[in-house]
Structure 1
C-alpha cells in the first residue's frame, strides 16, 4: 500500500494525471524527456503510473534518440513495477540521465540510482527504506513472507551499492533506518553524481554543510578528492616559488642571507642540529638487595604479631582440624537423629516426616527443637486405643453353644 497515494477527491483537483508519460525532444530530436511524476502502481491510471504505461512511452521515442532525461518527482510504489521500469530504461540504447526535481522515494529512488547518471536539484530529497508487503495466512505463510521481503531488500540494496561502490550490508542498514538525503547528502553518499543549480545549467560542486548527518563513509572513491602523486608532473614555476618561500623562511630562522646557496643552507641546519644534541644520561647501575637473614626475617614476623610454624606441623594441624570438623559433624548428626527418633516414639511427628525435620534441625537446631517440644505427645497415635481378638478364638467362642459337652452338662 502506498502511503503517498492521492485520494479520489485530491486526484480530481490535481492537474497531474497518471497517464502515459508525455515526451518531448530537443537537440534536433536526439534528446527525449520523460516525466515520472506519479506513484508507481501496477493498476496505473488513477492509482499511478504502471510499468506497462511507462514502457509504452519509451517505445514511442524516436529511433534517433541518444539521451533520455528522466525528470522525477515520485513517492515510489511497487517494487516489481519499479524494477521493470528501471530495466526498460537500462535496455534502451540511449544514455539515461535521471534528474530529481522534487522527491525520489522508495522504488523511485532505486530507479534514479540505477540509470547511467543521477543529478539532483537543489532542495530536492532522496528517501530509501525496506520493502513493505501484506500477507494473509498462517504462521508458515508469515515466515515465508518475511524471508521474501528480506530477499527484496537485498536486491534493492544491491542497486544502491552498485551506484556508490559500497557494500550491500551498509545499504541494508541505511534502508532499515529509513534514511532521508538532501541534495548535498545524496552526492556525498555517492547516490547522486551532481547537484543541479536553480538555473539547471551548471553542476555545482558539493561544498555545502551537511544538514543532518555525515554520509562520507558511504561515498565512493570517485566523490573523494584525490591527492596528486609525488611523481606527477606539475608547473615548474609553482615548484620554484615554493622553494623560494622555503629558503626565505630558513634564512629568517638560521640567520644566513636570502641569496645563500644550497650548501650554505644545509651547513647552517647541521650546525643548529648539533647544538641541540642532548648528551645521553648515564643510568646508574641497579643494585640488587641482599637476601634477608633468618634472624632478620623472624624479627620482622614477630614485630607484626605473627608466628612461624614448620610445614609438617602446619600440615598436621590442618589435618587434625579437618578430622575434628568431621567428628563434630558426626556428633551433630547423631544428636539430631536422637531428637527425631524420640519425637517419633512419643508420637509428636510422623515417621514419614523424619527427613524433613532432620533438614530443619540442620538449618535451625534451636528453633526446630522448640517446635518439636511444643507438639503434643501421641499426636500421631502410637499407643493401643482398644482391644482386639484373634479371628480363630472369635469363631470358636461364637460357636461354643454347639458344644455337646456343654449341653450335656
Structure 2
C-alpha cells in the first residue's frame, strides 16, 4: 500500500514537492520518501540531514516502524551518515525500500537500516568516495587519506549488513558497481525483493555522469552541472548527420556480409579495400574473351557487387569517415569554448587544450571541470554607465547582490 497516493484524506496530504520528507503515519507505521539528492544545503539543492531529521522528530511516540522509500542518486557522505544515524537512534524498526535506485550515499543509508528491501527492477549503485582539493602535495596527500578513511567507513556499513568483510567491499567499490535487485540480494546488501510497482525509469531522472569511468579510469567530468554528461555543449544531437552516417555504415556491413558491429570506420574501409582487391585479381582460368565470363567464386561471408556500385560505396564510406572526423573536431572545440565562456581557461590556451583533448579526452574534460569558474574574466571590464542606471542599482552592484548558484 502506498500512503502517498492522491486518494488519501486531506489531513495526510503532502506538499507539492514530494522530495522533502513529510511523514505519513498509519497504524504505527511512518512512511517517508527520500526522493532527491542528499545535500547539506537542502531546499532546492536536495534533502539535507537537517530537513530529514526534522521529519523524524515529528513522528508520534506510537510509531513502531519507519518505512523509508528511496529513489536517490546519493550525495554528501556526512549528511548521509547523519540521516542513517537518526534512523538508527529511533526506537522504531527501520525498513528501507529501494523503489528506483539507491546510489552512492543513499546506498549506505539503505544498507544501514534494519531491513533493506528491493522493489522489482530497482537498483543499487556503490563506488569509492569522491572529493576535490586544491593545494600543495601535503594538502593532496591529506585529501587522499580522508577519502580512504571514508571508503573504509562506508565499506564497514556494507560489511555489517552483508556479513562479508570490509576488505571485500573495499575491493568492490572501485568497480563502480550497479547492482540489480537480484544482485543486491545475492551480495547480502538486500534482505528480500518486494513485488511492488516497478520503477525502472527512475534512474534516468538523475545525472549519474559524475561517476562515469570511461576506459576504466575515473573521470568525474560532470561534477559541475554546467558541463553536460556528453562532454559536448550546445546541441549535441545533429540527428540528420548521425542518422545518415549510421545508415551508411549499416549498408556497408550488409553488402560486405560483415556481422561485427563494433568495427571502426578504418576497419570497415579496410574490408572494402580487401574485397575490391580480390575482385581486381585476374582469373587465370577465365574463358576466352569471346565466351561468356564465368561467375567469380564467392566464399562464405562475401558479397559480390557491381564495380561501379562498389566504388560508390567506397566514396560514401570516405565521406562518412570525414563527416565523423568533422563532428569530433566540432565537439572538442565546443568543450574548450564552453570552458573559455565560463572563465575557466584563457582564450590563448584554446589550441593547447584542443591538443590535450585529442590525446586524453576524459582526463582533459575532468581537468577543465576542476578549474574554478570566473578565473578568467569573460564579462566586459570597464564601460560607461547608461544614465538609465539608478543609484539603487549601482549600490546593489557594489554590494554584490544578485543570484547565487551552488555547484553540485
Please give the range of the TM-score, normalised by the shorter of the 2 chains.
0.3 to 0.5
TM-score, reference length from structure 1:
0.44
Choose between structure 1 and 2 for higher RCO, CA contacts under 8 A separated by at least 6 residues: 2
Please, what TM-score do these two structures have when normalized by structure 2? 0.44
Rg bigger for which structure?
1
